[in-house]
């Protein structure tokens, strides 16, 4: 285990949604298992004036409901003792001066500092400017690192502008562009699955793979984030970042080593090899939809346009599906279908790889029903699973076949579930950028979605709708290349049956 140097973790937006839902719980989990360095100081920055004691009570209020069986009081006490609070309103220069004095003059704060931007994407640039202006990003006595959440910019140009402003104060090794999907165990397992098992490699190409589907569906809606989501939409929120990263891991060449640069070199090559979607071909490659009211888990839920803060004429997509081709030797002609949606019937994420049929259908006269292809499926959420569908003979006198599912659920009951943010926070403190995005990856991902963003921004008059709690909008089948390609309904055996979407 690598040793983490003493450091100060400053969280901007400490009282916000991301910090409450992800960062504070992840830090506390690390505290419980003794993975936080003894000399880690946590500094919450938020707009309101608060006393340290009040912030600590708030932290306890965030954590306690997560442990209905009772919280580890010893760990909680240790955790609370780490926290300090600093009021910092946007544009308040004096607050940054006070922050600078605090961090650089008060010995309680280790000189190595991580600044975590748990704020709205539009707020990041200003905070970096102010931190830079106050000299807080200079690595004089210790290192200084900045963590930036996705989306990085809202299109290619804005990402490049944001990057240029960061480079005024920061060097690339100081910038940690986080995509929490890369911190998920099953996502990392895609690499293990591919590169620690030789038997897959000969099959992992256009000779044997028919197409790849990457799906992320959620039952939740926008969770009070209308101000962010309505300017983002599903394409920016999920596809530009998380789903294109999953695609890169499935499709990349084996890296020279697992070092950050080698890994990211290979991912970026895949993203750059994605065939550009021209504005004329957007409708053949992309599909969007928006949820209307419906029922989820037996409860009535409002439509997107009825959510608080959403303009009544919004055409922001809450569902997006995309077909892309990777124009390189390995993947020539293989479609990759990506889709994501909010307020869908199920909450699940998976990568499903469909293989081609054998070159000769020797069993066509004896088989009952259509020829079934092989599938390999990596379930990411809600369960880490790996499944493979194969054909076997039905016992008996006739040569009938049926599909079986080899289910290699590899997560043992006793193995703890680790949230993606836990590992990623440790990586930032260790300075390991392997699971963070390099700017060229971000740019390449924006190049893929930018033409779609442009066309959708112009065509604001109509958006296909789907009822909350359904399988998404109808009509997405037009993305498929052939009639025998369709979205899998689930990872179960009957999930491969066609569905009219």
Cβ 185 to ligand BG6 shortest distance, Å? 12
Buried b (16+ CB within 10 A) or exposed e, 429-451: bebbbebbbbbebbbbbbbbbbb
419 touches ligand BG6 by CB under 6 A = no
Considering only residues 338-357, where is the footprint of ligand BG6 by CB under 6 A?
349
Residues 275 and 326: beta-carbon distance below 8 Å: yes
Residue with tokens 């060449």: 253
Q: What's the closest the beta carbon of residue 179 comes to ligand BG6, in angstroms? A: 8
What pairs with residue 326 in β-bridges?
A: 274
Taking the C-alpha atoms of residue 394 and residue 74, their distance in angstroms, rounded to an integer, is 58
The sign of the torsion formed by the CA atoms of 147, 149, 151, 154 equals negative
In sequence order, what are the residues at sequence separation of 6 or more whose Cβ sits closer than 8 angstroms to the Cβ of residue 195?
Answer: 254
By CB under 6 A, the count of residues binding ligand BG6 is: 4
Q: What gap in Å lies between CA 414 and CA 418, rounded to an integer?
A: 12
Decide: is 218 part of the binding site for ligand BG6 (CB under 6 A): yes
Helix, strand, coil percent content, the chain, rounded in steps of 5: 35, 20, 40
Neighbour-count burial of 26, counting CB atoms closer than 10 A to its CB (0-12 exposed, 13-18 middle, 19+ buried): buried
The three-state DSSP-derived secondary structure of 171-209 is: CHHHEEEECHHHHCHHHHHHHHHHHCCCCCHHHCCCCCE
Closer residue to ligand BG6, CB minimum distance, 112 or 186: 186
317 binds ligand BG6 (CB under 6 A): no
* Cα 292 to Cα 102: distance, rounded to the nearest angstrom: 50
Calculate ∠ Cα 353-500-373, nearest 5°.
Answer: 30
Each residue 291-310 as x (binds ligand BG6 by CB under 6 A) or -, in order, gives --------------------
Instruction: Give the helix/strand (H/E) hosting 9.
Output: strand 7-12
Residue nearest to ligand BG6 (CB): 237
Instruction: CB nearer to ligand BG6: give 381 or 391.
Output: 381
Which pairing describes strands 335-341 and 319-325: parallel, antiparallel, or unpaired? antiparallel
| Owner of token pair 């955790």 | 79
Q: Provide, rounded to whole angstroms, the least separation between the CB of residue 174 and ligand BG6.
A: 23
Closest separation between CB of residue 121 and ligand BG6, Å? 10
Closer CB to ligand BG6, 19 or 349, in the complex: 349
Q: Quote the Cα angle for 234-238-239, to 5°.
A: 90
- The span from the CA of 130 to the CA of 300, in Å, is 45
Minimum gap (Å) between residue 482 Cβ and ligand BG6: 30
Closer residue to ligand BG6 in complex, CB, 237/384: 237
Residue 387: CB minimum distance to ligand BG6, A? 20
User: Shortest approach of ligand BG6 to residue 361 CB, angstroms?
Assistant: 39
Place of tokens 């294109």: 244
User: Beta strands of 326-455 (E only): which ranges?
Assistant: 335-341, 348-355, 375-381, 385-393, 401-407, 436-437
Token couple for 109: 């704060």
Active-site hit among 206, 242, 262, 285: 242
Q: Write out the binding residues for ligand BG6, residues 369-408 only, by CB under 6 A.
A: 381
> Residue 44 corresponds to which tokens in the numbers above?
């919450």
* 110/341 with CB nearer ligand BG6: 341
Sorted by sequence, the CB contacts under 8 Å of residue 150 that are 6+ apart come out as 177, 178, 179, 240, 241, 242, 437
Burial of 179 (0-12, 13-18, 19+ CB in 10 A): buried
Write out the two tokens for 431: 């300075």
Of the two residues 155 and 237, which places its CB atom closer to ligand BG6 in the complex? 237
Q: Which is nearer to ligand BG6, 110 or 151 (CB)?
A: 151
Compare residues 8 and 349 and give the one whose CB is closer to ligand BG6. 349
What is each CA distance from 45 to 60, 77, 117, in whole angstroms? 17, 21, 10
- Which of 31, 58, 210, 237 forms a contact with ligand BG6 (CB under 6 A)? 237
Concerning whether 242 is annotated as a catalytic residue, the answer is yes
Looking at beta carbons only, is 237 or 389 nearer to ligand BG6? 237
Write down the least CB distance from residue 81 to ligand BG6, Å.
30
- What does the binding site for ligand BG6 look like in residue numbers (CB under 6 A)? 218, 237, 349, 381
- Show which residues are catalytic: 242
């Amino acid at each position: 285990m690598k040793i983490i140097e003493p450091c100060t973790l400053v969280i901007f937006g400490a009282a916000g949604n991301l910090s409450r839902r992800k960062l504070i719980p992840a830090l506390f989990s690390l505290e419980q298992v003794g993975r936080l360095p003894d000399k880690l100081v946590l500094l919450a920055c938020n707009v309101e004036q608060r006393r340290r004691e009040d912030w600590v009570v708030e932290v306890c209020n965030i954590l306690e409901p997560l442990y209905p069986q009772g919280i580890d009081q010893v760990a909680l006490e240790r955790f609370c003792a780490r926290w300090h609070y600093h009021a910092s309103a946007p544009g308040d220069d004096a607050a940054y001066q006070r922050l600078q004095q605090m961090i650089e003059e008060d010995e309680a704060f280790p000189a190595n500092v991580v600044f975590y931007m748990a704020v709205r994407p539009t707020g990041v640039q200003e905070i970096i400017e102010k931190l830079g202006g106050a000299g807080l990003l200079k690595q004089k006595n210790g290192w200084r690192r900045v963590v930036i959440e996705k989306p990085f910019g809202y299109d290619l140009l804005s990402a490049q502008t944001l990057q240029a402003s960061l480079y005024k104060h920061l060097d690339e090794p100081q910038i940690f562009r986080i995509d929490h999907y890369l911190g998920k165990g099953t996502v990392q397992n895609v690499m293990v699955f591919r590169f620690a098992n030789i038997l897959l490699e000969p099959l992992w190409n256009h000779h044997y793979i028919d197409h790849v589907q990457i799906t992320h569906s959620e039952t939740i809606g926008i969770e009070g984030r209308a101000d962010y989501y309505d300017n983002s939409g599903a394409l920016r929120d999920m596809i530009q970042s998380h789903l294109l990263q999953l695609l890169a891991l499935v499709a990349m060449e084996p890296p020279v080593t697992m070092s950050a640069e080698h890994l990211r070199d290979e991912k970026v090559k895949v993203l750059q090899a994605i065939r550009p979607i021209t504005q004329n071909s957007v409708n053949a490659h992309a599909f969007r939809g928006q949820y209307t009211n419906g029922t989820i888990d037996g409860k009535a839920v409002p439509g997107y346009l009825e959510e608080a803060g959403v303009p009544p004429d919004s055409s922001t997509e809450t569902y997006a599906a995309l077909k892309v081709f990777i124009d390189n030797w390995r993947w020539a002609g293989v479609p990759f279908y990506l889709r994501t949606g909010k307020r869908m019937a199920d909450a699940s994420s998976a990568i499903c790889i469909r293989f081609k049929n054998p070159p000769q259908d020797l069993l066509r006269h004896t088989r009952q029903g259509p020829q079934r292809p092989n599938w390999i499926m990596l379930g990411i959420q809600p369960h880490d699973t790996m499944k493979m569908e194969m054909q076997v003979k039905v016992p008996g006198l006739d040569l009938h076949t049926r599909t079986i599912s080899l289910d290699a659920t590899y997560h043992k009951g006793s193995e703890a579930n680790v949230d993606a943010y836990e590992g990623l926070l440790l990586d930032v403190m260790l300075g390991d950028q392997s699971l963070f995005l390099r700017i060229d990856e971000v740019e390449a991902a924006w190049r893929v979605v930018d033409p779609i963003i442009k066309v959708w921004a112009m065509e604001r008059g109509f958006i296909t709708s789907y009822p909350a709690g359904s399988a998404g909008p109808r009509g997405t089948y037009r993305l498929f290349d052939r009639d025998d390609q369709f979205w899998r309904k689930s990872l179960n055996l009957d999930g491969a049956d066609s569905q009219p979407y």
